[in-house]
Structure 1
Amino acid sequence: MERHIFRVVLEEERDGGYSIYVPALPGCASQGETREEALANIREAIELYLWSLKDDNLPLPEGPGAVEVREVEVAV
């Protein structure tokens, strides 16, 4: 069994809970009431995503890419 490492982005929601996604895997996202639950859920989502790629004979993404978090100010 191959091991893969992916960077995830975990965001605390204003109304409670956490959203989490994987920048290297478009559309791979989840959520949870706690950080631990969100991390467990995204781990399962990543596994399913990778199995889907393997089933379709598509290449698996290379290791973690660079992730930069920046704040952008806008006026409305």
Structure 2
Amino acid sequence: MKDTYTFPALFEIADDGIFIFFPDLPGCLPSAATMEEAFKNAKEALQLQLYGMEEDDEEIPASSSPIKIKQNPGQVLVMIDAWMPPFREKMLNKSMNKTVTIPRWLDILARKEKVNYSHLLQTSLKQYLGVEDSSSKHFSV
């Protein structure tokens, strides 16, 4: 797992927006309305694609040389960088919704006491697992 990846992207500029293609990552297809948004969306989409591949233990392909990529009229070739450590940390700290089941009588008591279920569950899980913070140092991605 690398910290930095750089992949070529083709920005296809059309009347109705900018469509982005990563030749090495066929499923990564962001789009945008402006060039500024295109760079932002391309970077975010690349990070999401790479993170998902890492999570699924998929092999991340080598980046193609920009010289070998054919451009069609209306396309611009750009290189997009993905700095993964802060993105991985962001994804690990992303809130997740979980459905839990408790007896109705317990829910009634908890609501009377204005219990914050999310806070209580997080605190209890941290205590149960013996962790003090949400740092990714406790496990590997």
Q: TM-score range by the shorter chain?
A: 0.7 to 0.9
Unaligned runs of 5+ in 1: 72-76
Give the number of the structure whose residues are more often helix, by fraction.
2
What are the within-5 Å matches in structure 2 for residues 1-76 of structure 1?
A: 2-15=3-16, 17-65=17-65, 66-70=68-72
Question: TM-score, normalising length from structure 2?
Answer: 0.45
Question: TM-score, normalising length from structure 1?
Answer: 0.79
Calculate the aligned-residue CA RMSD, in Å. Answer: 1.6
Moved >4 Å (runs of 4+): none
Q: Distance in 2 between matches of 1:39 and 1:70?
A: 19
Q: Counterpart of 2:31 in 1: which secondary structure?
A: strand
* Greater C-alpha Rg: 2
Unaligned runs of 5+ in 2: 74-141
The number of residues matched between the two structures is: 70
